[in-house]
């Protein structure tokens, strides 16, 4: 995957954004605690190699990517500091995992759903009926995890979620009127594992139910860098590769980065296991070297 990820998805070689397009978007996908560690490792490694994408005009965060997006956009810690946090003991993080019954519901939902909203509603029913820890307890985890509870003012951060009842997709930002803590909690509410998040009387679940990256939200930007711990899709859920290809076909200069073999080994079988965070971060930092040239080639001069 890695070879195509930084070659097959690119268009344009003039060193600038395509005609009529401007700005850089950074898309950060879902992938559990391992995904958080790996994304920060990749971004740190890219910056070390002279391909820093953290000053992007738009940051799109889905599930794990929403957490990384907040940490980057806050400006409160440097990338090396964020990376070191991933290597520390994951105190306060709650281990979790998906059992066979939950995984079977995901597969059945993909096969039986005609479109993304229908699939979202199916996953919403799973989430609403599951026995999980209380919503307030989960909220406290995110209150401690995030560096700030305020939307960034210097750039646009978009956090994705799905209505648990209707399956409708939502993209929250500072203009949405939704608090950042609730937006991120909703984006990370994995159906069947964590409780849906209540916002203005509605219940919301993981934005990854609609897409692992929701990279289509970067449409119109001249340069798009997608860091996707989970690259696959299926049925009504588009893959990261498919979304990257559509952006490229529309004229954007796109780089898609997905885990290499070493990173997948570091993730292990359970991306929700806090113990996988540090190995994934190290693997992401090591992998970034292979993508630095491709990222530098698409960044605006």
Q: Which residues are catalytic?
A: 63, 206
The answer for residues whose C-beta is within 8 angstroms of residue 137's C-beta and 6 or more apart is none
- Rounded CA-CA distance 254/294 in Å is 9
- Rounded CA-CA distance 47/209 in Å is 30
How many residues in the chain?
Answer: 301
Nearest to 226 by CA among 61, 100, 112, 101: 61
The answer for residues whose C-beta is within 8 angstroms of residue 64's C-beta and 6 or more apart is 28, 29, 30, 31, 32, 33, 35, 36, 39, 188, 229
- Rounded CA-CA distance 145/149 in Å is 10
Q: Residue 200 corresponds to which tokens in the numbers above?
A: 């203005």
CA angle 139, 101, 134 (to 5 degrees): 20
Q: Is 115 exposed, middle or buried (0-12, 13-18, 19+ CB in 10 A)?
A: exposed
Q: Residue 4 corresponds to which tokens in the numbers above?
A: 């195509």
Unique residue bearing structure tokens 């070659």: 7
CB 57 within 8 A of CB 156: yes
One-letter-per-residue 3-state SS of 70-117: HHHHHCCCCHHHHHHHHHCCCCCCCCCCCCHHHHHHHHHHHHHCCCHH
């Amino acid at each position: 995957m890695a070879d195509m990820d930084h070659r097959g998805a690119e268009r344009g070689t003039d060193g600038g954004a395509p005609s009529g397009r401007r700005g850089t978007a950074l898309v950060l996908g879902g992938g559990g605690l391992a995904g958080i560690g790996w994304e920060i490792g990749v971004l740190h490694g890219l910056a070390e190699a002279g391909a820093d994408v953290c000053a992007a005009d738009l940051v799109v965060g889905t599930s794990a990517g929403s957490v990384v997006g907040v940490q980057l956009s806050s400006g409160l810690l440097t990338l090396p500091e964020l990376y070191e946090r991933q290597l520390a003991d994951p105190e306060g993080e709650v281990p979790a995992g998906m059992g066979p019954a939950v995984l079977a519901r995901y597969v059945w939902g993909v096969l039986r759903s005609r479109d993304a909203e229908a699939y979202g509603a199916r996953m919403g029913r799973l989430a609403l009926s599951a026995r999980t820890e209380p919503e307030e307890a989960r909220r406290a985890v995110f209150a401690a995890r995030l560096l700030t509870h305020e939307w960034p003012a210097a750039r646009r951060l978009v956090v994705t979620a799905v209505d648990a009842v209707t399956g409708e997709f939502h993209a929250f930002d500072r203009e949405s009127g939704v608090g950042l803590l609730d937006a991120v909690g909703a984006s990370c509410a994995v159906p069947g594992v964590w409780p849906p998040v209540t916002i203005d009387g509605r219940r919301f679940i993981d934005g990854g139910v609609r897409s692992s990256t929701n990279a289509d939200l970067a449409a119109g930007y001249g340069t798009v860098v997608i860091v996707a711990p989970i690259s696959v899709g299926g049925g009504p859920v588009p893959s990261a590769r498919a979304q990257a290809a559509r952006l490229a076909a529309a004229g954007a200069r796109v780089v898609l980065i997905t885990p290499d073999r070493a990173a997948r080994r570091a993730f292990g079988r359970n991306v929700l296991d806090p113990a996988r965070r540090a190995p994934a971060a190290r693997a992401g930092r090591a992998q970034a070297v292979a993508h630095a040239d491709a990222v530098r080639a698409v960044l605006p001069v």
